[in-house]
Structure 1
Amino acid sequence: MKKSKFILILLATFLANSISAQTNTITQLLQKTLQQENEARQMVHKEVDSLGNEIGLLQMAIDTLEVIELTIKNDTLVYTTKNYFTNVNGYYLYKQEVALKDITAVTKDIGIFFESAPEKVFVTQSEYFDDGNYKITTGELDLFRTHFTTLRENEYLADELVKAFKKAGYTIEKGYWYD
């Protein structure tokens, strides 16, 4: 009896570690893409006229993504970004949370999104103003926004995410992917 309990505990530990390793793979893919996104946002691009002549250099006018948290906790994807207001002094934290089991697809339009079942992405926006005031609002959505908008020709990422989710025990599909 003790031997069978030991084997069950060993098997459960192995399965838990295997699934944890796969959720780590999802996190690593997202963190690597975040790093590539921030590097691309800092690049200088050539400005070319309609005849193909180089007429100058242009730095992207997109700030670096300031990420407070990008992780998976208890099978829930958690992503918090820090953004600064343009018209008042202060900043806001935008936190998104979605259970991995509620993610149905990874898609790309203006940016990369995770689609979910209706109202399964929980968002909290915490606004902090220099005068000491603050405001917190919450809501539910069906799109989890990564803010990855700069990178192009990266459909391989969708395929890698679908595989990583499958290995972690979740089924998602690759939705439309527009560059």
Structure 2
Amino acid sequence: MKSIATILFFLNSVFAFSQTTKIIKILNKEIAKEIIAQKDTINYFGEKFDVIKNFSLENNVLSITLKRKSYYGEDFYNEIRQVELCKIKRIVKDVNIIFETEPNAVKITQINAHGEKSEKTTDMFFLQMSSEKQNEYVADDLLVAFRKAGYTIEKGFWYD
């Protein structure tokens, strides 16, 4: 009986891992589409950025590293966003697609061109996806992948 429980636990772990991999696959596919959309300088109205490190998952912490232009000059800085999957509560869209989280669950680390680091926390994980319209399927696909991975999140408002 013990061996059956062990096998079931193992199979459940493998299945959950494959679903977290599905979450990352969806996010990276969508961010790649956003990078391509940025090249359309006439029709792209979002903030431009480069992806330094794609969405990844380590110890159930979702992260992405971006290179962004400073608001106060010509300098650039790297921004690392991190959140534990279990702290994501909702997916919404208001220009950008956003994961809403528990309070202060998102850690944002910014490193400027001089190597100076600053950190802050928030309850919104911006996915940097704003160019595609009528894309509620992204939320639907992520909801399924999260549920199969053992996480419950809701879909909130979806405004283009």
Q: When the two structures are superposed, what TM-score results if normalisation uses the length of structure 2?
A: 0.89
1:37 to 2:39 alignment: no
Matched letter for residue 121 of structure 2: E
Cα offsets for 1:38-95 (capped at 9, x unmatched): 2222236xxxxxxxxxxxxx36365353242311111111111112336555421111
CA contact (8 A) 1:107 1:115 kept: yes
Gaps of 5+ in 1: 45-57
Cα offsets for 1:100-120 (capped at 9, x unmatched): 111000000020100001111
CA change 1:12–1:148 in 2 (3 A) is same
Query: Cα RMSD over matched residues?
Result: 2.0
CA contact (8 A) 2:28 2:54 kept: no
Corresponding position of 2:54: 69
Q: After superposition, where does 1:3-22 map in structure 2 within 5 Å? A: 4-22=1-19
Cα distance in 2 for partners of 1:91, 1:112 equals 23
Cα offsets for 1:10-50 (capped at 9, x unmatched): 22221111000000110011011011112222236xxxxxx
Q: When the two structures are superposed, what TM-score results if normalisation uses the length of structure 1?
A: 0.80
Q: How much identity, in percent, do the aligned residues show?
A: 31
Cα distance in 2 for partners of 1:173, 1:150 equals 22
How many positions carry a matched residue from both structures? 159
CA contact (8 A) 1:126 1:136 kept: yes
Corresponding position of 1:166: 147
Gaps of 5+ in 2: none
Corresponding position of 1:106: 91
Cα distance in 2 for partners of 1:7, 1:167 equals 21
1:27 to 2:24 alignment: yes
Cα distance in 2 for partners of 1:94, 1:158 equals 24
Q: 1:97 aligns with which of 65, 78, 82?
A: 82
Q: Which is higher, the Rg of structure 1 or of structure 2?
A: 1
Cα distance in 2 for partners of 1:34, 1:147 equals 7
